[in-house]
Structure formats: C-alpha cells, structure tokens
Amino acid sequence: MAHRGPVSTPGRGFLRSLVTLVVAWGLLPGCGDHTSVGPRVAEEGSATVVSLSPAITTTMVDLGETDRLVGRTPWCRGIDDRPVVGTLEGVDAEILVALQPGVVLHQPPASGTDPVLVGLQERLGFRLGGGRLDGVRDLLVLLDQIEGMELAAPDRIRQRRLSLEAIGACEIPDEAPGAVLLYSVDSVGVAGEDTYLGELGRAAGLRNLAGPGGWREWSIEMLLSAEADVVIAFTTPEMESFAQERLAAIEWLKSPAIAVITNPNAFEPSTRMPEVLAELRRGLEEAGVTSAGADDGSIEGEVERGA
C-alpha cells in the first residue's frame, strides 16, 4: 500500500455527524434495511462483491458496478435491496456464507481486519480487498485493487483516477484565504490538513488554519482566535438551517464568510470527492470568496455520474 500521512481518527463530533447523516438517509424513499438473501448473479463470468464499507459501496456504484454488489452495510448507498452483511467493524458470517461472494471489499478499523472475516476467507475462498480510506492516496490504492481484480471497466477507473490525482496534486500560495473546515457545528469539529476534507479544501485553493493533523475538536475560543477568512460547514440538507443558525449566533471577532455545504458524499472518502469539490467551489463563490483554486475543469470535467 502506498505511504500515507498521519492516520486521522474522527472525533466524537464527527461520529455524531455521521449518525445524523445515517438517520437522514433512512428517511429517504426506498432506503430500507432489507436483509433477505435472495439469489443475485452479476454478469456471467464476473465476480460478485460484498462491500463492508459505505465509501467503497459508493465508489463501486460510481464506477457503474451496482449489479455486481450482492451485500452491503446498513447504510443505504443506492443498493438498498441488497442484504446487510456487516459493518466497518465486523461481518455477519451466516449471511456471507449464504451469499458466497467472489470478492469482499472492506475498510478495516484501526484495530485491524476482523479475524472472523479472515477465517471466512480461508473457508470460502473469496478474494479480500480494500483497506484504510483516509484520503486520496488510499482511494488510488483502492482503484488499483479494483482494476487488478477486474471489478470495473478500465476507462471508468482511469477517469476517476485522473480526477483524484488532480485533487491530490493541488498546491496553494501562502496568500490563499484562510479557512476553517467544520465537520460538526454541534460541537466544533475541525478537519485538519491530513484529512480528505483537508485535501478538498486545498484543492479549492484554501489555506487550512487548523494546520497539519487529522480530525479534532475546538473550543469556541479557538475558532474565534483563528480569525478565518471563511468558515465552511459540511452537513446534510436536513441540518443546513441548524448549521447556519449556530454559525450566525457566534459573536465573531472578525466576521468570516460562511459557506454551508450540504452534500452527503462529503461524509466519506470516495470517488465522488470531485463532486463534493465542485459544490465546495460553488459555495465559496456564493459566499463571495475568491480562492486560488478556481475551477479550470481539470478535476471535475471528465467525471459525470455513471460515465
């Protein structure tokens, strides 16, 4: 696996934001917890896949491989008719045995791969892929695995790889607007430079005032003392008004521009990062922020949903 920067672990505020997001998805039409295990066969000669990661599920759907997916986590990501096989932390052995997948893609926690999953691999003989997903580098490794296992069309993988590489290669000048990226406004949850949100901020031409590091929680005093040019809150459409009200209620020492980004894909690192970046740029423009990362079409231009 490619070298990564410091591993970032989301704080409690980030987990609360994820719970809110999961609840929001659960309210969407057709987003149920279907656990019936019926026969589902991918195109003849191709491997069926169980995904134990919402981000990997999103990536496979984004690559046009919805029919290949036969199992998922409880969080609906466009395949709500597939049985729930497990979560990031573990797997339901009985359902996995019934499905007999050719490939299992997982995103193990910091504690490592679930021993039960390793035992099932030895018993059933499926291929095991995936890994930590902390940012662009990890996504590129995942795409290499997907291509090596022949789980998606090479041209689609190439398009997503080019867009992600463009995000990872972005650099900004010292005079770029100073920004604070919030993953939570309930508590002040801040994304540092070494997170996928940090990578998106850099690609949008922003100087991350949180500096190097991962997910952390700030006090209101720390937020005020940052004296940001722009404060960006990532949330869900259902929580947009709440986020705006919380930020408006703060007695700023220096009033920043405020941008609230309501794209659920911002809550996971997947091949839809370019889509989130496009929305971030629109939000900055609407907030009147001129950044060093003005869209030149090199990142989002080639990637269209289902292309």
pLDDT of residue 89: 83
Residue type, 106: H
Contacts of 155 (CB under 8 A, 6+ apart): none
Which pLDDT score, from 0 to 100, does residue 292 have? 63
pLDDT score of 78: 80
Domains and CATH numbers, the chain: 29-152 (3.40.50.1980), 172-286 (3.40.50.1980)
AA letter at 246: R
Per-residue pLDDT of the chain (307 residues; tens, 9 = 90+): 333 333 333 444 444 444 344 333 333 333 344 444 443 444 444 799 999 999 999 999 999 999 999 999 998 678 889 999 998 888 999 999 999 999 999 999 888 888 999 999 999 999 999 999 999 999 999 999 999 999 999 999 999 999 999 999 988 888 899 999 999 998 999 999 999 999 999 999 999 999 999 999 999 999 999 999 999 999 999 999 999 999 999 999 999 999 999 999 999 999 999 999 999 999 999 999 987 654 544 455 444 444 4
Handedness of CA 268, 273, 275, 277 (dihedral sign): positive
No. of H helices and E strands in the chain? 10, 10
**Nearest-angstrom CA–CA distance, 45 and 228:** 54
Do 142 and 133 contact (CB within 8 A), yes or no? yes
**Sign of the CA dihedral with 282 first, then 267, 67, and 25 last:** negative
Residue 142's H or E segment, with its range, is helix 136-148
> Cβ neighbours of residue 242 under 8 Å, at least 6 residues apart?
185, 235
How many angstroms separate the CA atoms of 71 and 66, rounded? 11
State both tokens at 118.
Answer: 């390793």
H or E element that contains 69: strand 69-71
Reading the block at residue 43, the tokens are 């195109």
Contact between 155 and 129 under an 8 Å Cβ cutoff? The reply is: no
What pLDDT sits at residue 109? 85
Q: Which residues is 182 bridged to in the sheet? A: 190, 233
DSSP 68-85: GEEEB-SS-SS-TTSPB-
Phi first, then psi, for residue 174 (nearest 5°) are: -60, -25
Burial of 69 per CB tally in 10 Å (0-12, 13-18, 19+): buried
Q: Which DSSP string do the residues of 277-307 spell out, in sequence order? A: HHHHHHHHHHTT---TT---STTTTT--TT-
- pLDDT tens for each residue of 190-248: 999 999 999 999 999 999 999 999 999 999 999 999 999 999 999 999 999 999 999 99
